[in-house]
């Protein structure tokens, strides 16, 4: 159930937890936030390829930094490669924006350790966020909407938080 590199839920277990929380929100008509977070390795330094020099260590450190910005009831998982997801029960649009911005800023300000004390780097994340009921009421719709918001964040230069839009997903 846990991803070996990050120590977080792996994709299948993470999506099962998210789906369970979303169904509870739909049933009781309570707000629910979902964040998709993508690592931007070289946002602050193009002269060094952080992906290859730090590799798996960076993912493990990033997971800890992301988790530190969440509540105990929130669920964080490794979605895909360098993409993480966070489920935020009882969180409306304003709350999801606050959580997403807090994560972005926390990562931006954190120095990630390399193999030596002097080997430290800064990285950034892009965050796409959506909520139930504003952006959709199924997991597939929320994932697609947050994925599209994530692409907008990347295309706008990175180190950004972008709210998703309601999308149609073919079944």
- Gap between the Cα atoms of 31 and 92, Å rounded: 5
Q: Is the pLDDT reported for residue 40 higher than 90?
A: no
The structural architecture, per CATH, of the domain 11-163 is 2-Layer Sandwich (3.30)
Say what percent of the chain tops pLDDT 70. 87
- How long is the chain? 171
Handedness of CA 146, 152, 157, 161 (dihedral sign): negative
Candidates 110, 103, 144, 145; CA nearest to 125 is: 103
Task: Identify the weakest region by mean pLDDT among 55-69, 73-87, 105-119.
Answer: 105-119
| Helix and strand numbers, DSSP H then E, in the chain | 4, 7
pTM reported for the whole predicted model: 0.91
pLDDT greater than 80 at residue 43: no
Average pLDDT score over residue span 11-40: 97
Please determine, for residue 13, whether its predicted confidence score (pLDDT) is greater than 90: yes
Would the CA dihedral through 103, 68, 55, 109 be positive or negative? positive
């Amino acid at each position: 159930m846990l991803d070996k590199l990050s120590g977080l839920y792996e994709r299948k277990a993470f999506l099962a937890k998210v789906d369970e929380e979303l169904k509870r929100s739909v049933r009781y008509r309570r707000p629910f936030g979902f964040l998709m977070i993508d690592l931007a390795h070289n946002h602050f330094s193009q002269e060094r390829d952080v992906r290859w020099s730090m590799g798996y260590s960076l993912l493990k450190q990033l997971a800890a930094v992301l988790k530190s910005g969440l509540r105990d009831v929130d669920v964080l998982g490794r979605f895909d490669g360098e993409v993480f997801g966070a489920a935020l029960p009882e969180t409306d649009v304003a709350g999801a924006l606050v959580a997403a911005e807090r994560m972005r800023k926390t990562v931006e300000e954190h120095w990630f350790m390399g193999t030596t004390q002097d080997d430290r780097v800064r990285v950034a994340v892009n965050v796409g966020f959506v909520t139930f009921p504003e952006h959709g009421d199924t997991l597939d719709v929320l994932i697609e909407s947050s994925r599209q918001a994530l692409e907008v964040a990347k295309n706008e230069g990175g180190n950004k938080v972008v709210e998703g839009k309601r999308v149609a997903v073919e079944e």
